[in-house]
Structure 1
Amino acid sequence: MRFTLAVTAGLVFAGVTAAPASADAPEGAYWRVETTITMTHPRPVGSGYHLTQRRVSTEWLSPEGRSWHGFRELGARPATPKDEAAWRADGSPTTWAYRTEGMKIRLSTEPGKGSVTQAEGQPAGFRLGEKYVTYQQLQSLPTDAGVLRKQLSAEVDAWIDEAAEEAKTTSPNSRKDDWLVNRDRYVAQRAIELLYANPVPEKVRAAAYQVLKTTKGVVDLGRAKDPLGRSGRKLALPVPSNRDSVLKQAFLVDAKTSTLLAMYTDLKDGGKQMLGKSGVQTYEVGWTNDKPAVPGAR
């Protein structure tokens, strides 16, 4: 039996190439999902240069269904060499502030203090689509890609029926076809959730990866590396049908472990890129025994 493990700060990241002895047995006290978000701030500052913002969001899920959330701003920096030159010409400020829509926006090169809180006011369990399930129910998900596709498709169809009916209460002219045209994208998104969000067995992740790869409209962009230097297979989702904007999303997956590594988002409205809504997110997931704490600065 051969294992490939990467251990950082007590977190055993996805990278196991063989199934655990028991699919039902948690391998730690918490399933941890750490998401680092990198995007260009939507408004220019100083003499007109742009900043890149980074922030980290972390979720801890216990096998009993309790959850904690951590968050920390990681600081801003000039987005491009051209922006850096303008920033230096402005005297290399370390803070920025302005008002927009009645709000005071503050930016800094220094990381924020961050926070960590236990989730309250939500059902105990693991969010799976529109419902909450137990740890044991996660372990019982289909490991056959065909069976899993049927289940995910049925869940999407039920959601479309409900969403389309609800939409009529505020938009009488809305049609079910408005959702059905994006059905394949919704199925692919359900499969992606199984690649990182919850502690499902490795065979379930492998089945979900097969569902994702073979969903109509998903395009294989070949091998690529994420901002952390990790290699994977980059897959593009179908572009949703929308007259006003164009949303392109691609996902980098470790094909050996069927684990999500990164998500790339490119949103354009009228041909103009929507800064603040486009960018890249990297994911580091796995079991840990470390208690929930404020995410570290890096």
Structure 2
Amino acid sequence: MNELQSLKELLAKPRAAQEVRDDGRHRLQRTIHGHGPVTRRRRTPWLAGALGLTAAVTIVIANLGTPAPHEPNSPPTTSTPRQVVLSADAVLLAAASSARNQPANGAYYRIATTMSSNKVRVPGKGYWIQRSVAKEVWISPADESWVIFQDLGWAPATDTDRAAWKADGSPASWRLKLRSGAFCRKAENNGAENLCKEQVATTTAGPRKAERGTPGIRRPGIVGSLGNYEITMDQVRRLPADPKKLRAQIKRRLPGAGKMLDTITYEAGTGLILELPVSPAVMAAAYEMLAATPGVRSAGEVTDSLGRKGHAVTMGADGSKSIRNRTIIDPSTGLPLGTQTYRAKDGVVLGSETVTKIGWTNEQPDLP
């Protein structure tokens, strides 16, 4: 039995004393950061019974240094990286271990993200651009929450596109016929492409705006949703810090999921990590729940839209084999760097949400 296998079994024991579990997580973290026993190039087996994962896909984790609390993927130290081969379940267990070290309370739970839309090819130019929107969600236990958002405008999608854009004279706007809806695509197929309105896409950012409440929620006390139902701050506080109990609660919130239960559980679990003001213990339980969800696979090291490197796990989007969802994790902090939806056949990213800050803070929102 290798080191990581024994550590996972140690963490999985339901009645293990807390000090034993803490020791196991400490040993796991030491292994990840190059301070413990390493079995080079050896795959950690999936736990078919306990973890229920379906494929032994390995990834490489490097020592990324020690970032400051609740700042995803801070710059690494200058220590020499030491690589350890881990599988997706081990990555998620490591993220769970690191997440427990994050601040457990504050004046607000802050989630700052940048969302990027599908890419659009500039007619006659050959390069792609995409629109981005910045969003800050500030959730207060005192029920005074805010959403601050800003349209960041359009920009070249990749470094290659940026080079082509510069060669094109770095235009600040484009006239595009945007095809974002299924109705529009259907109309085009019937020869009625004029229903897709031509719009001006510009690089100019819009003003910052703020609204009270949480995104899409108008009723007081609601801080988001979990599964098919809205959730209050009090209900978030009572979420179990146990992966099996957490999965059971999510299942109750997904009536009629049927064969899609695992896929939707993955989406609900990542949504919990990315969108709800949870405690470090509940975030850790969500990672452990994802590790035990059949169909979750490693995607190796991934670079997000800000150029930060993290390690990703994937699941088919709504059960699809052609479109997949990817969650990128900073293994040093256990915090999410973001999510991406991409085509399985060529890895092309169709849309992404990048996390710049997440967690409890005593800072105050900078309202426009």
TM > 0.5: yes
Specify whether residues 260 and 89 from structure 1 end up closer, same or farther in structure 2 by C-alpha distance, changes over 3 A only: closer
Q: Which residue of 2 aligns with 1:112?
A: 206
Match of 1:36 in 2: 114
Asked if the contact 2:339–2:352 (Cα under 8 Å) also holds between the matched residues in 1, the reply is yes
In structure 2, distance between residues paired with 1:78 and 1:257: 30
What letter corresponds to residue 200 of structure 2 in structure 1? R
**Aligned partners of 2:128, 2:231: CA distance in 1, in Å?**
43
Aligned-partner Cα distance in 1 for 2:128–2:276: 36
Change over 3 Å in CA distance of 1:46–1:90 after alignment to 2: farther
Match in the other structure for 1:134? 232
Match of 2:156 in 1: 78
Counterpart in 2 of 1:148?
246
Q: Deviations over 1:145-202 (max 9, x none)?
A: 121122122222x2x2xxxxxxxxxxxxxxxxxx523211111111112213122111
Q: Distance in 1 between matches of 2:305 and 2:168?
A: 29
**How far has the Cα of 1:282 moved from its partner?**
1.0
Paired position in structure 2 for 1:280: 352
TM-score, length-scaled by structure 2: 0.59
SS of match in other structure, 2:354:
strand
- Structure 1 residues 86 and 251: CA distance shift in structure 2, 3 A: closer
Partner of residue 265, structure 1: 341
Residue among 87, 91, 101 paired with 1:18? 101
- Write the mapping of 1:50-129 to structure 2, written as runs, cut at 5 A: 50-80=128-158, 83-84=161-162, 86-88=164-166, 90-98=168-176, 101=195, 103=197, 105-119=199-213, 121-129=218-226
Amino acid at match of 1:41: K
Q: 1:128 to 1:55 in 2, by over 3 A?
A: closer
- Normalized per residue, the structure richer in helix is 2
- Alignment partners' CA distance in 2, 1:203 and 1:235: 20
CA RMSD, aligned part only? 3.4
TM-score, length basis structure 1: 0.71
Q: Residue 330 of structure 2 is aligned with which of 254, 261, 270? A: 254
Taking the aligned partners of 1:222 and 1:47, their CA distance within structure 2 comes to 33
2-side partners of 1:181 and 1:16: how far apart?
A: 30
State how far apart, in whole Å, the 2-side matches of 1:261 and 1:80 are.
18
Indicate the larger mover: 114-123 or 199-208. 114-123
Secondary structure in structure 2 of the residue aligned to 1:192: helix
Q: 1:104 to 1:224 in 2, by over 3 A?
A: closer
Shift of the 146–195 alpha-carbon distance from structure 1 to 2, 3 Å rule, reads: same
Give the fraction of aligned pairs with identical amino acids, expressed as a percent.
27
Question: Is the alpha carbon distance of 1:71 and 1:45 closer, same or farther for their aligned partners in structure 2, counting shifts above 3 Å?
Answer: farther
Q: How many residues align?
A: 256
* Match among 268, 291, 298 for residue 365 of structure 2: 291
Q: Quick one: structure 1 residues 123 and 51, their matched pair in 2 at CA, closer, same or farther if it must change by over 3 Å?
A: same
Supply the AA of the counterpart residue of 2:283: R
Asked whether the 8 Å contact 1:65–1:134 carries over to 2, the reply is no
Q: 1:103 to 1:70 in 2, by over 3 A?
A: farther
1:5 maps to which residue? 68
State the distance in 2 between where 1:51 and 1:195 align: 29
Counterparts of 1:93 and 1:230 in 2: how far apart (Å)? 27
Structural mapping, 1:151-230, within 5 Å: 151-156=249-254, 158=255, 160=256, 179-230=257-308
CA distances 1:201-256 after superposition (whole Å, capped 9, x unpaired): 111111110101210111122344434454543110135345xx832111012345
Residue 237 in structure 1 maps to residue 315 in structure 2? yes
Q: List per-residue Cα deviations over 1:83-117 (Å, max 9, x = no partner).
A: 45654454432122345636452222232223222
